[in-house]
A and B are shown apart, each in its own frame.
Chain A
Amino acid sequence: MSAIDELFIRLRSENRKALMPFVTAGDPNLDFTAAVIQELVARGASMCEVGIPYSDPIADGPVIQASYTRALDHGVKLTNILQTLGNITSDNVAPRLAAPLVTMVSYAIIYRHGLEKYADQLVKQGVAGMIVPDLPLEESSQLANVCKARDLSLIQLVTPTTPRDRALKITETSSGFLYYVSVAGITGERTELPPDLVERVSWLRENTPLPVCIGFGISQPEHVRMLAPVADGLIVGSAIVRRMANAKKDPAATLREIGDYVATLVAEL
């Protein structure tokens, strides 16, 4: 059982929902990444998704792309990112980080490092799992076995273009939770979410014991109010990353702004 499984067992037993912010690692630097994760958890985030910058992210909109580019331009390296995560998940840090971390990472990066080596590093640095947005079901069995052997969660995605029979197959191979992508498209804040979103998620949730979390486009308190009742958790990315663009100029103010923003979302859960 991974730390993510434990989290959702606890949340479901308490009838609570998770807010899961996404942050880019290394934008503008890894000190800020560590600080922002600790701030987000202190403000009520149940889990953090850490985006590993990639040069060619085809599922990401302009905000996250720009953030990845900034981080890579500053020369951020995977080894240093994972060490930073290890520093904040360590038992020696007080207060201990009260939320599991997952990496959002392209398969290009995992393959280059070696599947087992990457997974071993996550275990060593106290990271609970990974979301691999460019690794669909058909290509995932090898990595799924590597994760399973280490109690790491491999979180799979279901989208509005996924036929229902395929969605059921995906639920069988996903672990930790199921990531429901709200819209057919790339990451980024949206004012309107699809009208049939609630219905689609409800159907999925009735058909799997796995927790279902919704991401892509979520940015406003109204979104949280509408979706929290039908999901186990909500993922917020671009709305946070957009605010990170100012972190280089004024890290303290950016940290506060992001913390305040996330607190307003947590209040709607």
Chain B
Amino acid sequence: MTTTPLPDAAGRFGDFGGRYVPETLVHALEQLAEQYEAARCDPAFQAELDDLLKNYVGRPSPLYFAKRLTEHCGGAEIWLKREDLNHTGAHKINNTVGQALLTLRMGKKRVIAETGAGQHGVATATACAHFGLECIVYMGEEDIRRQAPNVFSMKLLGAEVRPVTSGSRTLRDAVNEAMREWMSCVETTHYILGSVVGPHPFPRIVRDFQSVIGRETIEQSRLRLHSLPDVVVACVGGGSNAAGMFHPFIELDEVSLVGVEAGGRGNQPGDHASPLTYGSPGILHGSFSYVMQDEDGQTCDVHSMSAGLDYPGVGPEHSYWKSTGRVSYTSCTDDNAMQAFDALARFEGILPALESSHAVAEGMKIARKRKPDERVVVCLSGRGDKDAAEIARLKDQSL
């Protein structure tokens, strides 16, 4: 089956996506779309990117059989796509090396970025150090507090971290501030957005750079499992690791795809960060997608213990996949994610990021309900070292 590639020229995935930004940014976004299109079709660009992914990022990342976790759950086999083993410890670097290459191609020397958990900030600072680009990262004050090790890493890598004190002082406010900064330096500076959100062409560019996750998983499954997995699970904040994992599987109908949002403390507004589960379509950060808004169109405060999922919006392609039913979306509470964190630590010797722990929890839940000859692949999007202090705080323990 072949379908029209999405997004269309206007950046639409079905009804979702588009470009709802101030006129000041339109020209830069058009240029970016053109340059990306040219780069995508340029074998030299692809060769340089492939080389970086192999020799700098350390790809391919392993597809690992979690034997003891599987035995513990007593159902389908659980396999982990180990994005936590990438350089800088998460999937974010797949996108930042790609966009840093685009920055050079556009002749720009300066990069700005937003970050929530700090993983995208570190990955951007890393790519900028690699290429000698100036790097400024916007990060909410609340996130600076709960992800201190990443803040320190960014500084060591030569980036300037600018605290954001407006609004809820989390990822959403960091995106606002990065967009504002971009308005005044758009001619000289590239904005490396870290997720599949924002105005066209960002959702497409980030998805494409992250799709290496899903492509490798398909290849590794065919080699190691001699078939495709039955279920693939990934966590969804903005949704970049999930989009990268799911996109190559979209036309492989025999594989079930499950996205896991942050269920936080419960299903009341303000207690979770699950726009696909509890929100409605609206505009945020330049695109039309599911969002947590009040009846007046004001963005709601959201909650997740994981900074990377603590975001009221979601990438437009996820809204599209929800509307077509190709991907099912669910949410996982803070408590269940924490139990999955503990299980992976004890049974496999792997400390997952709190974000990824949400996917692990759902993967375990699905595995329990399925037969031993079935396979569940969980995208382990990042490592949990950055979360040690926050986990100690949440568990009321000292480091």
Contacts and interface: CB of A to CB of B under 8 A. Distances in A.
Interface of A: 54-61, 65, 69, 72, 77-78, 106-113, 133-139, 156-163, 166, 170, 181, 183-186
A163 B176 contact: no
Interface string B22-38: 11111110000000000
Interface of B: 10, 18-28, 166-167, 172, 176, 179-180, 183-184, 186-187, 282-286, 288, 293, 295-299
Contacts of B285: 56, 58
B27 A161 contact: yes
A59 B180 CA distance: 6
Contacts of A78: 296-297
Nearest to A216: B24
B176 A58 contact: yes
A143 to B, nearest CB: 11
B23 A157 contact: yes
B22 A133 contact: yes
Contacts, number: 117
Given A107-B283, A184-B187, A58 B296 contact: no
B295 to A, nearest CB: 7
Contact of A108 (B25, B284, B295): B284
The 8 closest A-B pairs by CB, nearest first: A112-B297, A185-B184, A109-B297, A108-B283, A55-B298, A59-B22, A58-B179, A159-B24
B216 to A, nearest CB: 35
Contacts of A111: 282-283, 288, 297
Contacts of A56: 167, 172, 176, 284-285, 299
B238 to A, nearest CB: 15
Given A56-B284, A161-B24, A186 B293 contact: no
Question: Which one of A65, A159, A162 has the greatest number of beta carbons of chain B within 10 Å?
Answer: A159
B298 A61 contact: no
B169 to A, nearest CB: 12
Given A59-B183, A112-B295, 10 more contacts: A55-B298, A55-B299, A56-B172, A58-B176, A58-B179, A59-B22, A109-B296, A134-B22, A138-B19, A157-B22
A139 B20 contact: yes
B183 A138 contact: no
Contacts of B284: 56, 108
A162 B23 contact: yes
A186 B182 CA distance: 9
A134 B283 contact: yes
A139 B25 CA distance: 14
B138 to A, nearest CB: 12
Contacts of A113: 296-297
B298 A58 contact: no
Question: Which one of A59, A78, A112, A183 has the greatest number of beta carbons of chain B within 10 Å?
Answer: A112
